Amino acid sequence: MKSTHLLSATLALALAAPGVLLAQERGVSYKPAPPLPKPIYREQRSSMDNKRDLSGVWFIRDYNRRFRTPTDTLPPFTPYGKAEFDKRVKAETDGKPYADASTHCWPHGIPRVMNSPYPIQIFQTSGKITIVHEVAHNIRQIHMDQKMPDKVPTSFLGYSVGHWDGDVLVIETKGTDPRTWIDEEGIIHSDQLYSIERIRKTENGENLENEVTLIDPVFFTRPWVKKINYAWRPDLRISEYICEENNRNAPEGGVTVAK
């Protein structure tokens, strides 16, 4: 880990006041929420009455398989990070894409699982936030109001701790298995990946904004940000999604076989 001081200073900023750190990347606008279909199942509506209540079903609005910064640039890659990215993009162009975790039906990793074109349901219980993702039945658990342990075990979805900063849910994640990717195109990470999500309700509670800061000194020269928005969807329920059945893209020898 080079430039530890700079990194921790930047980190403190990212945790405390993303507006300062990311001023140049703010002001990005997304499309206004589409009119909601009439709720079929649940009359309960999301609202700003309790900004710390994120429970319910949400669906990504600005899904893109490629991660870019809010100013639509590639992440600030290290030379190694750029080479690994280019390798994957080229392999895909050549029709022999590398196999990522989802291709093996493994959990998708953080932040990747937060960027999938399937609904998610958020549950808030004592000391815990649980997110059930339709995609590949990922179940993500966030330890609330706990310190990040000095050492965390490696797992596909990593180890997440969360706390409220005003009405913003801040989730820090470490220990994400480096077999997972950050996006679907070819941005990958090392075992040093540290992600910080700042999640808050906007648009009268009909939008959930997730500002993800990604830190990995092996792959990136500085922290960078990806924004994801989700629409409140009380009309939806989580459906069954079985990747393991008839997996069309099961890898052979590390290479995805598209059928």
Partner 1 sequence: MKKLLLAAAASAAILSTAAFGADVPSFAGVWKIDGDHSTIRTIDGRLPPMKPEAKKRYDAAVSARRKGKPTGDTLAKCLPHGLPRLMFAPYPFEVIQDAKQLTFLHEAHHMPRFVYVGDKLPPIESLDGNYMGFSAGSWDRDTLVIDSAGFNDLTTIDTAGLPHSENMVLQERMRLTDNGQGLEDVITVTDPDTYTKPWKARVTFKRMPNDYWLKEFVCTDKNPDAQ
Would you count residue 73 as binding partner 1 (CB under 8 A)? Answer: no
Would you count residue 44 as binding partner 1 (CB under 8 A)? Answer: yes
Looking at beta carbons only, is 112 or 226 nearer to partner 1?
Answer: 112
Return the residue of 36, 74, 105, 148 that touches partner 1, per CB under 8 A. 105
Q: Report how far residue 120's alpha carbon sits from residue 103's, in angstroms, rounded to the nearest whole number.
A: 20
Given the rule CB under 8 A, which of 59-67, 124-132, 196-204, 221-229 is the region that contacts partner 1?
Answer: 124-132
| Other Cβ atoms within 10 Å of 200 Cβ, number | 19
Among positions 148-177, residues that touch partner 1 (CB under 8 A) are 155-157
Would you count residue 15 as binding partner 1 (CB under 8 A)? Answer: no
227 strand-pairing partners: 211
| Other Cβ atoms within 10 Å of 83 Cβ, number | 11
Q: Report how far residue 136's alpha carbon sits from residue 132's, in angstroms, rounded to the nearest whole number.
A: 10
Q: Nearest approach, Cβ of 211 to partner 1 (angstroms)?
A: 24
Which one-letter DSSP state was computed for residue 47?
-
Q: Report how far residue 236's alpha carbon sits from residue 239's, in angstroms, rounded to the nearest whole number.
A: 9
Which one-letter DSSP state was computed for residue 219?
T
Rule CB under 8 A: which residues touch partner 1?
41-42, 44, 49-50, 53, 55, 104-107, 121, 123-126, 128, 130, 132, 137-139, 141, 143, 155-157, 237-238, 240, 242-245
